[in-house]
């Protein structure tokens, strides 16, 4: 807003956002359901935390790797206007971005940690949400607050488990060569170790806040998506 972009800037890159959301959601949900059906073929659908965790990790890793080319283009397009004019990538469209990233040879950069990010989301959100909602129902009955309390617990757990991977993924996706021609990070592990060494330990050896920078909007985004998804599913099934 301060840069004079107006409210339109909050809705820029809609083509990349649409493709990213469609690909990410489809891959994540399909992967979770496939692996959950594989490990739990019982028609009675026994609800077990370990089954949920396995399906979330397997489906998340698969979804993260498959959709990484979409994610890296979208992340770069979102962050582009934060850079000085001469440092911007200026992708004209999503297709233009994919083409240029492919020429750079970076389509799968950060794919593994992107998969771990989605796995953390699935494990945290699904398990915590179901556990909290079942216990709320047991003690308080079918009240509307069950959904909101359970969603808040699930999103909070998902944020704790996934945000460090999201931070590393974002740095890998947006990094540029240093003046010596080398990249700041070799891979996800190198990024993690350098963040621990140069950021987390600057003031306090136990301060890991650098992995949770931007936690409030991250939580708000997940919470809104979770609530809207549930109501949309309710409407569809009705």
How confident is the model over 123-171, as pLDDT tens digits?
Answer: 888 778 888 888 888 888 888 888 899 999 999 999 999 999 999 999 9
Look at the alpha carbons of 165, 169, 171, 177 in this order and tell me if their dihedral is positive or negative. Answer: positive
Say how far apart CA 216 and CA 220 lie, in whole Å. 6
- Give the pLDDT confidence score for residue 183 in this predicted structure: 93
Q: Read off the DSSP letter of residue 214.
A: T
Q: Which residue has the tokens 């994610």?
A: 71
Q: Tell me which residue of 102, 145, 118 sits closest to 23, measured CA to CA.
A: 118
Region of 53 on the Ramachandran plot (φ > 0 left; ψ -120 to 50 alpha; else beta):
alpha
- Give the pLDDT confidence score for residue 68 in this predicted structure: 93
Low-confidence ranges of the chain (pLDDT < 70): 1-6, 8-9, 12, 43-47, 201-206, 237-238
Q: Can you give the pTM of this predicted structure?
A: 0.84
Q: Which CATH class is domain 12-237?
A: mainly alpha
The runs of H, that is alpha helices, within the chain are 14-39, 49-66, 68-79, 94-104, 111-140, 145-174, 188-195, 215-237
């Amino acid at each position: 807003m301060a840069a004079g972009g107006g409210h339109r800037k909050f809705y820029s890159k809609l083509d990349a956002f649409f493709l990213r959301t469609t690909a990410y959601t489809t891959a994540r949900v399909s992967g979770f359901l496939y692996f959950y059906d594989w490990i739990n073929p019982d028609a009675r659908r026994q609800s077990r935390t370990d089954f949920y965790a396995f399906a979330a990790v397997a489906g998340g890793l698969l979804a993260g790797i498959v959709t990484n080319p979409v994610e890296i283009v979208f992340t770069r397009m979102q962050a582009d206007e934060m850079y000085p004019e001469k440092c911007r990538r200026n992708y004209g469209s999503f297709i233009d971005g994919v083409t240029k990233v492919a020429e750079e040879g970076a389509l799968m950069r950060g794919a593994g940690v992107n998969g771990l990010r989605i796995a953390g989301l699935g494990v945290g959100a699904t398990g915590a949400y179901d556990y909290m909602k079942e216990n709320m129902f047991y003690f308080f009955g079918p009240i509307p607050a069950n959904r909101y309390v359970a969603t808040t617990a699930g999103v909070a757990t998902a944020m704790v488990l996934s945000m460090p991977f999201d931070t590393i993924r974002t740095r890998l996706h947006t990094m540029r060569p240093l003046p010596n021609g080398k990249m700041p990070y070799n891979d996800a592990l190198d990024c993690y170790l350098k963040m621990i060494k140069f950021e987390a330990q600057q003031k306090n050896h136990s301060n890991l806040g650098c992995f949770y920078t931007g936690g409030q909007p991250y939580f708000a985004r997940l919470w809104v998506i979770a609530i809207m998804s549930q109501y949309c599913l309710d409407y569809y099934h009705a």
